[in-house]
């Protein structure tokens, strides 16, 4: 029985060797390949599809790269936005401190030093704002711009056109080309 099995194994090996020699070994049992012209057309179609997919992929990669570069540039440019928004209240308070000191007190030597110190601090703060692209929004006399001004109230006025800013309640600021804080304003309306 062992001899019969060895004979069968030898026969199978010989058949395998013959298949390798004539090129049919390992070939799947499928339909015959199309003729030369059909095969060439199919390959050209497949090549065109692959080229198209490659071009789309390259374009998408380039778009992602540009978008990432823009986001990084914006992040660098506007990184100080939250800090700047917080420091604006300091600038407001310094301005209010100067505004409440009466003119006759400003001549007093004791008060004069404090006023000079506050004015110097305001100038330095304005200088720092300018270095970082933070600028004050002009408001009084301009037409209300909802992108830069926030109307808090309307004041009847015969002197100003309706919709014109006549009073600034709180200064607004821009950081480069973006709104940091809108100006809180009073707007003229027709008198009753």
Is-above-0.75 flag for pTM? no
Mean pLDDT (the chain, rounded): 83
Tokens of residue 179, six digits: 């709104």
Per-residue pLDDT at 43 exceeds 70? yes
Give pLDDT tens digits for 116-171: 999 999 999 999 999 989 999 988 989 999 999 999 999 998 888 888 999 999 99
H-helix or E-strand spanning residue 184: strand 183-189
C-alpha to C-alpha distance for 7 and 13, rounded to whole angstroms: 10
CATH superfamily membership of 81-189? Head domain of nucleotide exchange factor GrpE (2.30.22.10)
C-alpha to C-alpha distance for 171 and 85, rounded to whole angstroms: 12
Per-residue pLDDT band at 22 (split at 50, 70, 90):
low
Tokens of residue 137, six digits: 């929004």
Per-residue pLDDT band at 32 (split at 50, 70, 90):
low
Give me the long-range contacts of 30-38 (CB less than 8 A, separation at least 24). Answer: none
* Ranges 41-50, 69-78, 175-184: which has the least confidence: 69-78
Q: What is the pLDDT of residue 134?
A: 92
Give pLDDT tens digits for 76-99: 888 888 888 899 999 999 999 898
């Amino acid at each position: 029985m062992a001899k019969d099995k060895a004979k069968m194994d030898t026969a199978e090996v010989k058949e395998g060797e013959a298949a390798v020699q004539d090129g049919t070994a390992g070939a799947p049992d499928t339909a015959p390949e199309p003729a030369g012209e059909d095969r060439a057309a199919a390959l050209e179609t497949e090549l065109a599809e692959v080229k198209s997919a490659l071009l789309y992929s390259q374009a998408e990669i380039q778009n992602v790269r540009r978008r990432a570069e823009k986001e990084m540039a914006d992040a660098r440019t506007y990184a100080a936005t939250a800090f700047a928004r917080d420091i604006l209240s300091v600038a407001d308070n310094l301005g209010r401190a100067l505004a409440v000191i009466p003119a006759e007190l400003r001549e007093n030597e004791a008060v004069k030093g404090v006023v000079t110190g506050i004015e110097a601090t305001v100038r330095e703060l304005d200088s720092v704002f300018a270095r970082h692209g933070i600028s004050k929004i002009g408001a009084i006399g301009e037409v209300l711009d909802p992108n830069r001004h926030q109307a808090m109230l309307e004041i009847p006025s015969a002197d100003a056109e309706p919709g014109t800013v006549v009073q600034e309640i709180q200064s607004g600021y821009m950081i480069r080309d973006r709104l940091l804080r809108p100006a809180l304003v009073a707007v003229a309306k027709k008198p009753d």
